């Protein structure tokens, strides 16, 4: 019976003109980023199958404190958070990945209407959804394979939810520059705002963001000794080679993680180690020696700046 609800939902309207104009294709998006100055790529492209696996490895690294710290916070406060969520909620997790931390909440929420993990990496999403469904046999698990930065519709649960709660842990909000973070939070507000005038209570958001700290600690968290983050960063080029027939030479780029105090963020970059050109989707992109591609911004907040 769980199997039945484990069909991934594809966003409807993907074919419509409206959807197309709202969402540029992979080629368009990648090319416009690489033709911009400075060059950039969306961190969304990290998460192919290999990238999702590498990210799970990052979460276990001694230098990467974020996952451990957030897990500790959830362990300590899951009961209190669950009490605030209340019964019969629809729990929607954006960028659910391996759904590891979610279990801490699910353990305290035996009466959820359903759990909706949303992730862009289909195989990763489905594996995690099956594991959750096996571990929580009474829970309806409704995976949605979608890029949560673009419009997608929530699957319908068998039970009518009392409210929608968005779960957005992991400091993923840090990948969005402040104006985009505000836009995304408006989208989340729309997701949790009750549409029915009667019966449904207002929804909520459980969000994890990372705090400013010693730049040395930050730079190490994004440039670990084992080189897993470097591999994760470079994998984006492999992804583009495979999916767009690009000709990136992974040996000719190196990983860099740089704290930028003015913007209160870590910038993940790939630095071209030489003057070179790369073919991608019929275009030729030229790189100077030491020229960066910015692949990710990881914003760090204070409680006040986040509020």
* 246 forms part of the interface with ligand AVJ (CB under 6 A): no
Nearer to ligand AVJ, 174 or 203 (CB): 174
Residues in the interface with ligand AVJ (CB under 6 A) total: 12
Distance (Å, whole) CA 143 – CA 8? 5
Q: How far is the CB of 252 from ligand AVJ (least distance, A)?
A: 21
* 296 forms part of the interface with ligand AVJ (CB under 6 A): yes
Residue choice 30, 58, 106, 164 for contact with ligand AVJ (CB under 6 A): 58
Nearer to ligand AVJ, 83 or 250 (CB): 250
CA angle at 33 for the pair 173 and 293, rounded to the nearest 5°: 80
Sign of the alpha-carbon torsion through 117, 157, 163, 77:
negative
Nearer to ligand AVJ, 149 or 172 (CB): 172
Residue choice 30, 34, 41, 66 for contact with ligand AVJ (CB under 6 A): 66
* 94 forms part of the interface with ligand AVJ (CB under 6 A): no
Q: How far is the CB of 245 from ligand AVJ (least distance, A)?
A: 26
Nearer to ligand AVJ, 172 or 235 (CB): 172
Distance (Å, whole) CA 97 – CA 106? 16
* 298 forms part of the interface with ligand AVJ (CB under 6 A): yes
* 172 forms part of the interface with ligand AVJ (CB under 6 A): yes
**Which tokens in the block code for residue 2?**
């769980």
Residue choice 175, 235, 256, 272 for contact with ligand AVJ (CB under 6 A): 175
Tell which positions 184-243 bind ligand AVJ, by CB under 6 A. 222, 229
* 142 forms part of the interface with ligand AVJ (CB under 6 A): no
Nearer to ligand AVJ, 58 or 91 (CB): 58
- Distances in Å between the Cα of 47 and the Cα atoms of 36, 181, 299 are 22, 19, 19
Nearer to ligand AVJ, 47 or 287 (CB): 47
**Which tokens in the block code for residue 241?**
């080679």
Nearer to ligand AVJ, 136 or 301 (CB): 301
* 102 forms part of the interface with ligand AVJ (CB under 6 A): no
Name the one range near ligand AVJ by CB under 6 A: 84-92, 149-157, 170-178, 269-277.
Answer: 170-178
Burial per residue of 118-129, b for 16 or more beta-carbon CB atoms within 10 angstroms, e otherwise: bbbbeebbbebb
Distance (Å, whole) CA 136 – CA 194? 27
Summarize as ranges the residues that interact with ligand AVJ (CB under 6 A): 58, 66, 170-172, 174-175, 222, 229, 268, 296, 298
């Amino acid at each position: 019976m769980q199997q039945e609800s484990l069909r991934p939902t594809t966003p409807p309207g993907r074919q419509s003109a409206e959807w197309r104009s709202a969402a540029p294709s992979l080629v368009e998006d990648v090319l416009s980023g690489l033709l911009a100055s400075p060059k950039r790529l969306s961190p969304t492209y990290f998460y192919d199958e290999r990238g999702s696996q590498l990210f799970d490895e990052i979460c276990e690294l001694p230098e990467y404190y974020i996952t451990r710290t957030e897990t500790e916070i959830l362990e300590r406060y899951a009961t209190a958070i669950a009490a605030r969520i209340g019964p019969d909620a629809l729990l929607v997790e954006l960028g659910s990945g391996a759904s590891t931390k979610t279990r801490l909440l699910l353990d305290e929420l035996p009466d959820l209407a359903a759990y909706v993990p949303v992730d862009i990496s289909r195989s990763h999403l489905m594996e995690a959804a099956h594991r959750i469904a096996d571990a929580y046999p009474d829970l309806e698990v409704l995976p949605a394979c979608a890029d949560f930065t673009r419009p997608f519709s929530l699957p319908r649960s068998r039970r009518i939810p009392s409210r929608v709660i968005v779960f957005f842990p992991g400091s993923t909000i840090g990948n969005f520059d402040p104006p985009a973070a505000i836009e995304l939070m408006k989208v989340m507000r729309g997701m949790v705002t009750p549409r029915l005038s009667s019966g449904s209570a207002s929804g909520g958001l459980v969000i994890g963001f990372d705090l400013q700290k010693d730049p040395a600690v930050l730079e190490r968290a994004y440039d670990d000794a084992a080189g897993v983050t470097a591999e994760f960063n470079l994998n984006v080029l492999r992804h583009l080679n495979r999916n767009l027939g690009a000709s990136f030479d992974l040996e000719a780029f190196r990983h860099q993680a740089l704290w930028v105090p003015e913007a209160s963020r870590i910038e993940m970059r790939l630095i071209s180690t030489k003057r070179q050109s790369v073919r991608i989707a019929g275009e030729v992109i030229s790189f100077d020696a030491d020229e960066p591609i910015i692949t990710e911004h990881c914003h760090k907040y204070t409680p006040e700046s986040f509020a």
